[in-house]
């Protein structure tokens, strides 16, 4: 189980609309804050996502059930769109 206070992840080549869907889904979990990260590429490419990833922050009220729910949501989307990758911070 992830015990960090935040997690930044990316799904390579994931459309912006799906990032927004994942963020909306995660925002329903108590004790979790989610932001879309901006794309860092200097050139626009239709094969690249228009989002740079997601940043999840576990707020002080996040309990183990909230963390488990986040893992379930990420696993669901990972099964549909491919494994997510952690971004170095």
Which pLDDT belongs to residue 48? 57
In this model, does residue 42 exceed pLDDT 90? Answer: no
- Global pTM reads 0.80
β-pairing, 85-86 vs 51-58, is: unpaired
Task: Identify the helix (H) or strand (E) that includes residue 85.
Answer: strand 85-86
* Domain assignment present for 66: yes
Which domain range does residue 25 map to?
6-86
* Selection from 9, 4, 12, 41 nearest residue 23 by Cα: 9
For residue 82, the tally of other CB atoms under 10 A from its CB is 12
Q: What is the CATH number of the domain that holds 28?
A: 3.30.70
What's the pLDDT band for 89 if we cut at 50, 70, 90?
A: low
Report the number of distinct structural domains present in the chain.
Answer: 1
Position 2 pLDDT exceeds 60:
no
Which carries the bigger pLDDT value, residue 57 or residue 61? Answer: 57
Establish if 52 belongs to a structural domain: yes
Q: Is the residue at 36 inside a domain?
A: yes
Residue 1 in any domain: the answer is no
Specify whether the CB–CB gap between 8 and 53 falls below 8 A.
Answer: yes
C-alpha span between 72 and 21 (Å, rounded): 15
């Amino acid at each position: 189980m992830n015990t960090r206070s935040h997690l930044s992840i990316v799904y390579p080549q994931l459309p912006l609309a799906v990032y927004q869907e994942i963020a909306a889904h995660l925002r329903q979990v108590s004790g979790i804050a989610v932001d879309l990260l901006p794309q860092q590429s200097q050139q626009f490419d239709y094969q690249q996502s228009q989002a740079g990833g997601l940043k999840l922050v576990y707020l002080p009220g996040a309990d183990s059930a909230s963390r488990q729910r986040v893992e379930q949501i990420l696993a669901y989307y990972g099964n549909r769109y491919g494994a997510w990758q952690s971004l170095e911070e």
